[in-house]
Structure 1
Amino acid sequence: MREVPVELRAISKRYGGFEAVKSVSFSLMEGELCALIGENGAGKSTLIRLITGLSEPSSGTISMFGQTGRREIRSCRERLGYMSDLNASYPNLTARDNLVVRCIEWGLPTNRSIDGVLSTVGLGEAGGKKVKNFSMGMRRRLDLAIALLGDPELLILDEPTNGLDPMGIVEVRKILTHLNKDQGKTILVSSHNLEEMHKLATDYLFISHGRLIRRMTAPQLEKSCRGGFVLHVDDLERTRSVLGDETSHSFLPDGSVLMRYEEKKEGRGIAIEALSTAGVRVAEAYSHRKSLEEFYSELIGRESEL
């Protein structure tokens, strides 16, 4: 039976008259790599602070690994590794010494874990170098190494690719995939890099204005992001008479129509031929897939209309 590293039940957090998190409930299951998606001010950082114990909820309950008592949750948090959105290393120390200091602070053994952790994040050859000489990508990987000390089962990562160039982002993606798939670590990651999250996550939590508005698995998101077959045509009504009413459309500046036609690949040639026979000019035809940014924008737009 899969463990439940984190479960939130009707969690709210208020700062004076402002409610940053509003009755949020969800479970994070063992083995998931879950992306926490939301705009600035949506409540992502507040949720992370509540889970990691850096802040207390105003109402609701949190359980970790099945435990709900304060003392038990405090003990369970020893099974958690946290990576802040800010660099957590000491620039005048070497990478290895940074990890030694953290181990001493947290009462962890230093004899076996440090070299292995540095190797896991791709810094095995850089352990003796001072952090002030590191690139941003190396610093972020060192921050991840700090979070991995003690071999935690649960990782909470806040903007792990923040400030990285494309190659640095790819390196972090490979590390997180390895930690999740090969080492079985459960990961909750908050990021503004939605394109990267779309490549990485197994599950998604979408929040806006402090509320959880949708939870989805990767297959469910993929299905929702299928944009169908896009046709630029010159006659909306005639196109609908051929393809049926199960289409959506928008008008282009040149007066033509962009239509989204949900059809299997093998039927597209037949559709274009049928339109041509009916006298509809098809200027362009291509497959379209929504990005995570497009999906989230549409999701937020629908919520704002309610």
Structure 2
Amino acid sequence: MTYLVQTNRLTKVYEGKEVISEVSMHVKKGEIYGFLGPNGAGKTTIMKMMTNLIKPTSGSIEIFGETLTHNSYDVLKRMGTIIEYPVFYENLTAKEILDLHCEYMGYYDKKEIDHVLDLVKLINTDGKPVKDFSLGMKQRLGIARAIITKPELLILDEPINGLDPIGIKEIRELFKMLCEEYGITIIISSHILGEIEQIADTIGIIHNGKLINELSIDNVNLNQTDYIEIIVDDGKKAAFILEKNLAITNFKLMDDDHCIRIYDSAVSQKVISKALIEQDIDIEAINRKTSSLEDYFLKLVNGGIMNA
């Protein structure tokens, strides 16, 4: 197995508090690695260590087969990054920003500027200073700057922040194209699970500074299960009826006390509806569903399976 990026027991301590705890990640060459976790979980801190913006307290990072050190300048030239919010010289135009970036990166194919601006849908911004860009436009420009030098590795921290649904779809397709056609390896962090589910080959789930699982999206899909979801006016009474009258025990009453998920696939929706209606339970909705990456994620971070 060829890993483009590996971390070995990566740890970071701030003011006596361990914010990243022995994280060992494995990112294969040519894949999209979805780095998932709630805000404050440690995603950005790990990405800053990967890009040499901050130093680990202990542990190591290996990129392109080399251990990252204080002097890993050549490794950084082979990477494109967005860490936190992209920052620009606000009075320059998008073209000027990219031209300047190419200069200090030692990349002189200036024809690529228009091509990249077209890829991120900013080709018609001539003469417009970045200070007049919307949040979404700045995010697109940050992506353009990250990819213009055709890096082998992209490290992108919440890159779809500020984009509307159409923009999110366009950038999602762009990332897929960069991976499939150019062979670029992408590490992308997000708390928007539905988006990661659509593009990632592998996911790593981090919570409270610890990597609690790392697995292929195919394995996530294998773990998905069908269930019947019912929205009722009185969840506790409905749960009692399901167990007493229908002998259903494989169900879960959700936190709001109005939603019940039944994992017994042998029972039909018609039978369930009839039993509840006969006992004066008001059914707002009943649907057959399949568990998602979000369900799997919540199961892990709320104390389910904890495989590191």
Q: What TM-score does the superposition give when structure 1 sets the normalisation length?
A: 0.83
Q: Would the aligned equivalents of 1:89 and 1:142 in 2 still touch at CA under 8 Å?
A: no
Deviation at 1:202, TM superposition (A): 2.0
Greater mean deviation of Cα atoms: 296-305 or 193-202: 296-305
Contact 2:228 2:269 in 1 (8 A): no
Cα distance in 1 for partners of 2:302, 2:168 equals 29
Moved more, 187-196 or 225-234: 225-234
2:221 alignment partner in structure 1: 222
CA distance in 2, matches of 1:128, 1:177: 30
- After TM superposition, list the pairs within 5 Å mapping 1:1-306 onto structure 2: 3-68=2-67, 70=69, 73-230=72-229, 234-240=241-247, 247-250=250-253, 258-263=260-265, 271=268, 280-281=275-276, 285-302=286-303
Structure 1 residues 202-243: Cα deviation after superposition (integer angstroms, max 9, x where no partner): 221111111100112212223434342346763313423xx6
Unaligned runs of 5+ in 1: none
State the distance in 1 between where 2:300 and 2:19 align: 20
Aligned partner of residue 125 in structure 2, secondary structure:
coil
CA contact (8 A) 2:212 2:306 kept: no
CA 1:293/1:251 → structure 2, altered by over 3 Å: closer, same or farther? closer
**CA 1:71–1:12: 2 relative to 1, 3 Å:** closer
What SS does structure 2 have at the residue aligned with 1:178? helix
Contact 2:242 2:272 in 1 (8 A): no
Could you say if the C-alpha distance between residues 111 and 155 of structure 1 is closer, same or farther in structure 2, counting changes exceeding 3 Å? same
Structure 2 Cα separation of the partners of residues 21 and 214 of structure 1 = 15
> Which 10-residue stretch deviates more, 71-80 or 93-102?
71-80
The verdict on how the C-alpha distance between 1:249 and 1:208 changes in structure 2, with shifts beyond 3 A counting, is closer
CA distance in 2, matches of 1:92, 1:7: 39
Question: Following the alignment from structure 1 to structure 2, what is the Cα–Cα distance between the partners of residues 141 and 124?
Answer: 11
Could you tell me which amino acid in structure 2 is paired with residue 239 of structure 1?
L
Q: CA RMSD in A?
A: 3.1
Letter of the aligned partner of 2:288 in structure 1?
A: S
CA–CA distance in structure 1, aligned partners of residues 255 and 92 of structure 2: 58
Structure 1 residue 24: deviation in Å? 0.6
Q: CA deviation at 1:83?
A: 1.1
- For structure 2, the residue ranges without an aligned partner over 5 or more in a row are 233-237, 278-282
1:253–1:164 distance in 2 versus 1, CA, 3 Å:
closer
- Give the whole-Å Cα distance in 2 for the aligned partners of 1:253 and 1:61: 43
Paired residues, number: 293
CA shift at 1:286, angstroms? 1.7
Q: What is the distance in 1 between the residues matched to 2:262 and 2:135?
A: 42
Q: Relative to structure 1, is the Cα distance of residues 84 and 131 closer, same or farther in structure 2, using a 3 angstrom cutoff?
A: same
Q: Distance in 2 between matches of 1:252 and 1:204?
A: 27
In 1, distance between residues paired with 2:260 and 2:61? Answer: 48
Judge conservation of contact 2:19–2:208 (CA < 8 Å) in 1: yes
**TM-score when scaled to structure 2?**
0.82
CA distance in 1, matches of 2:259, 2:110: 67
* 3-state DSSP of counterpart to 2:87: coil
Give the superposition deviation at 1:12: 0.7
Quote the Cα distance in structure 2 between the aligned partners of 1:79 and 1:86. 21
Contact 2:227 2:291 in 1 (8 A): no
